[in-house]
Amino acid sequence: KGSSSGLQSKLLTVQMLSATSVTGFSISAGQTVCRSGTQRPCYKIVYFHDVSRRVSYEEARLACRADGGHLVSIETEAEQRLIEKFIQSLLASDGDFWIGLKRKKHEVDNSTECQNLYSWSDGSLSKFRNWYVDEPSCGSEICVVMYHQPSAPPGVGGPYMFQWNDDRCNMKNNFICKYSLDVATEPLKPVVPEEHRKKDGNETLKEAKEPVLSLAYILIPSIPVLLLLMVITAIFCFWLFAKRQLTAVARPLHCQCS
């Protein structure tokens, strides 16, 4: 593990993103922070001062996917504490953070016994949870945020800081992405198979044409030279033929004189 000063310097590299940072679900402007500086998994804390720029759960999920990751899965208490340090380094004002925990819509349960119906969007099987004392409330609230309300007065479970709460998915919040070599991310815009075939066919046709075009480029400039050689060859052959004819006629005449 790195020293506390080294960790603090890494935490301070997390950037608060501008209003244009998630345009088209791209968050490449943010700084990715890894454990001890280089170890996977890595994280990106996406925080907006401007409340109007915060996003829904689905927008946050797509933004992380487009950036090569997933909404964060928090698998151990140690990982929870690490992410808390990342957030604290921002000196951020009130604003909860979406995490990758969600309950399926068809598993709506109006009771308070729905804890086991939640799963991580990146496929993690971790059972670690950090619910606030009276959460989840279940019902129609199926997406999960990490509390970050430093100015709010404490509730029955203490300050609303870093515990988890189920919320409506259309609420606007900050979010946290996670990047790991162990998790294969899905492409945001997969290429249709027909497009692959069309592209491959065009490439094959292009490859077939290239040798023909190359040969043409070589032959065309040499056509005048070839024609000249043909004319010279024809003249030489005609001259040689005419000479032989004259020689054949001259021989009998020479014999008669002798």
From first to last of its 258 residues, the chain has per-residue pLDDT tens of 444 434 433 443 344 443 334 434 445 445 788 877 777 899 999 999 899 999 999 999 999 999 999 999 999 999 999 999 999 988 889 999 999 999 987 665 566 578 889 999 999 999 999 999 989 988 889 999 999 999 999 999 999 999 999 999 999 999 999 998 654 333 333 333 344 444 555 554 454 455 545 555 555 666 777 788 888 888 888 888 887 877 766 655 454 444
**What is the reported pLDDT for 108?**
59
Residue 204 lies in a domain: no
Nearest to 95 by CA among 44, 153, 150, 163: 150
Global pTM?
A: 0.62
In a domain, 239, yes or no: no
Residue 49: alpha-carbon gap to chain centroid: 26
- CA angle at 67 for the pair 48 and 119, rounded to the nearest 5°: 85
Residue corresponding to tokens 């490439």: 203
Residue with tokens 């004392």: 133
Per-residue model confidence (pLDDT) at position 107: 61
CA distance 62 to 96: 18
Within-domain flag for 84: yes
DSSP labels for 110-172?
Answer: -SS--GGGEEETT--------B-TT----TT--EEEEEE-TTSPPBTTBS-EEEEEEE-TTS-
- Phi-psi label, residue 86: left if phi above 0, alpha if psi -120 to 50, beta otherwise: alpha
pLDDT, residue 118, reads: 94
Q: Does residue 67 lie within any of the structural domains?
A: yes
The answer to whether residue 114 sits within a structural domain is: yes
Alpha helices in the chain (DSSP H): 4-11, 57-66, 77-88, 193-257
CA angle 201, 206, 207 (to 5 degrees): 100
Residue 86, classed as helix, strand or coil, is helix
Residue-level pLDDT at 45: 94
What is the reported pLDDT for 218?
A: 56
Domain that holds residue 52: 4-179
pLDDT at residue 242, rounded to an integer: 80
CATH of residue 47: 3.10.100.10
Q: How many domains does the chain have?
A: 1
